[in-house]
A and B are shown apart, each in its own frame.
Chain A
Amino acid sequence: MSIVDVERSAAAKYKLQVIDCDIHPAMTSWKEIHPYLEKRWIEHLTVYGSHLRHAFSEALSHPRMSPDAARVDAYPEEGGPPGSSLDLMRKQHLDPNGVEIGMLIPLRWNPGSQRNLDFGVALTRAMNTWQVERWVKQEPRLRASVLVAQEDTAGAVAEIDARGGDPNFTQILILPRTDEPLGRRRYWPIFEAAVRNNLPITVHVGGTGGHPSTGGGWSSYYMEEHHMVSQAMQAVVTSLVFEGVFERFPKLRVVIMEGGLGWIPSLSARMDKHWSRLRSEVPHVKRPPSEYVREHVWFTTQPMEEPGSSAALIDLFDRIGWDRLLFATDYPHWDYDDPRTSFKANLTEAQRLQLLRGNARTFYGFA
């Protein structure tokens, strides 16, 4: 594999001002979590490990094409996986890219997919405290996400209420491969708690719900699996709309994170078309589905679409709505988007600022 050496520490042509909505922090050692985890669960994790609905307890069944799914230049000199060194994160990403605020999206252990619900809830509690102690308190530019174990609704709600008043947290994090589609009523107490605490629900790709990646079975290759996360996101949006979640919770805001953008206009049109034909089945869906999407759903930009022409990308943004797009890099993952180069379109300075920072400021209510 050849490595393109980009001079990432060089000063930008102009001063970047960025809010990065998707940064993945990692642990140097899993013992980092011990201070926040009850003894019982430390022993449980040691003896039984992660108990999920897939073949390997600690590995992905579609291995990525780079170690840790990471940029090859993101390994800290002091050891540990990419994303585990705050020092390197500052030097490599936060400082040169002008990141004013960065949102932490921890993915380790997949607490929301743990089949042992008590274990899942304990992990979310520990990892939420870990985000604050290990990251946010050390680096004021970072913000934490409230991890929840959504299959234990009561446990998830308790954790949301416990963190709701803490300004270190900006959102509630759920991975889309849940036991049932996210709009189903078993999850509604979580949406109620989100609205009560004025926190958006952020759905970042991942999770192991046990269902195949497609309605026609499992994919063979990572190339497919990586593609299909955007179809899983479509199913999440479809479920939220057709279960009537936005009718029931008119103040609920949802962020679809890392799910791609190209499908949004076609899914909205498809939902509208077939809703108009089949609406007698879903009388609780009172308006064309695209209106709920336009009002309640935001999307992060990475991985940025590359339709091959500036005009096609701008046409796509026009149809999604410019104010719905939140910039994200996915640092330190391999498909990271650089704020300087990821938009292959002729943007005005105002548009660039809106995408890189303005929309997220408004959405998350940063001063």
Chain B
Amino acid sequence: MTGNRQTVGADISTRYAAAIDCDLHPAVPSMKVLLPYLDDYWREMVSVRALDRLNLNLTSYPQNAPLSCRPDWRLDGGRPAGSSLQAMQEHVLDRYRPRFGILNCLYGAQAFHSEDMAAAFCRAANDWIRDEWLSRDSRLRASIVITPQNTELAVAEIERRADDFRFVQVLMLVSGEMTLGRRQLWPIYQAAERLQMPIGVHAGSSYRHAPTAVGWPSYYVEDYIAQSAAFENQLHSMISEGVFAKFPGLKVVAIESGLTWLSGYIWRADKTWKGVRAEVPWVTRAPSEILRDHVRLTTQPIDAADEREALLRLVDHLKSDELFLFSTDYPHWQFDGDAALPSGLADELSRNILSENALATYPRLLKADHAMEIAL
């Protein structure tokens, strides 16, 4: 078995050698690791209110649900999945040997109702990511965890990271307090555009509203299925409100969206726009054209029985092979073995998905690389 695995391992590391993994999930093991990054007030609050006993695991990813962690990626001793850099290196970074991996920390602090509390813990989580992950593996990059319900605090956190080019993206959950196109959120997009950071919209909800327009489903699996509809609605909100007309340099990356909903989206959106565009005069082009210029999507999961066929169909429907960004979604259980990207894709398409599209989407990736070379 060992010999066999080594052979396979050599193949996959060749295949993924230049890849950029756009969705890796590091987990905060417990609030205790954040204490050094909190100010006196919040350290006292943690102590007085025993905040460190709170389990901030998001309802969107129940800790022990099969989807939340692949069986062979679970950590021993009951440690939260994704909380070990060493394990991430073993499972992904040293196995696929991607050129870069982008960390999207789904820390629950962003969902606190208290904006101050949320901002304090998001800031601490970003500091912790910097010290415990980015500084320990030069292949890693990260998204900035923010508290979008307060744009002033969110923008301050983004600007705090501006000079550290290892932070390449701003992270938001797909379902928060308001639809993502709303003008209240625009200061976040303005800062992101200025600093050449895409807005990474990741599956997940702070559960301010029922996950569907028809109310609260009974089961977790229904919540998860509803995420693709949430992505569709949020991208449509951003397009309809004119976010991309206002911020022409802005990119949005839909992370863990399921992907195959895209065809139905552009057909319906383009047709409706033709009929009612007088309502939104700033939407001067068909939604599909705006999407092609501004929206990118990570590849795991691909909601289809045949992932290769699904990707080719999407490229045909979307008339572009520039939209898709490789991801493993580690440690979520989306694929088995090494089938992170379906085989049998043409070389150029494969190269675009694995690396070229991400390089074009994240200008800060190479800046950080350059800065490091100088430092060396």
Contacts and interface: CB of A to CB of B under 8 A. Distances in A.
B329 to A, nearest CB: 12
B343 interface: no
A57 B333 CA distance: 47
Interface string B304-322: 1100001001001100000
B213 interface: yes
Interface in A212-231: 212-224, 226-228, 230-231
Contacts of A180: 214-216
Interface in B137-184: 174-182
Nearest to B205: A215
A16 interface: no
Interface stretch (B49-57, B236-244, B245-253): B236-244
B212 A181 contact: yes
Contact of A224 (B205, B236, B275, B310): B236
A223 B237 CA distance: 9
Interface centre among B221, B241, B333 (most CB of A within 10 A): B221
Contacts of B213: 176-177, 209, 211-214, 228, 231-232, 235
B220 to A, nearest CB: 6
B280 interface: yes
Contacts of B210: 211-212, 215
B67 interface: yes
Contacts, number: 240
Contact of B261 (A266, A278, A312): A266
In which size bucket is the chain A interface?
A: 35 or more
B263 A239 contact: no
> On chain B, which size bracket covers the interface?
35 or more
Contacts of B65: 278, 281
A261 B301 CA distance: 22
A305 B240 CA distance: 20
B194 to A, nearest CB: 25
A273 B303 contact: yes
Contacts of A243: 218
B261 A263 contact: yes
A306 B266 CA distance: 10
Contacts of B263: 262, 266, 307
B303 A214 contact: no
B217 interface: yes
Nearest to B206: A216
Given A216-B230, A266-B228, A278 B215 contact: no
A143 B174 CA distance: 43
Contacts of A281: 65, 219-221
Given A211-B209, A217-B177, A312-B317, A178 B272 contact: no
Interface of B: 65-67, 174-182, 205, 208-222, 224-226, 228-230, 232-234, 236-237, 240-241, 258, 260-261, 263-265, 267-273, 275-280, 283, 301, 303-305, 310, 313, 316-317, 333
Given A215-B230, A223-B277, A230-B268, 5 more contacts: A231-B212, A232-B212, A269-B304, A270-B228, A275-B221
12 contacts: A181-B215, A212-B210, A215-B229, A217-B208, A223-B276, A223-B283, A224-B179, A232-B212, A234-B226, A267-B228, A281-B221, A306-B267
* 6 interchain residue pairs of minimum CB distance: A262-B264, A235-B212, A231-B229, A270-B303, A266-B260, A216-B175
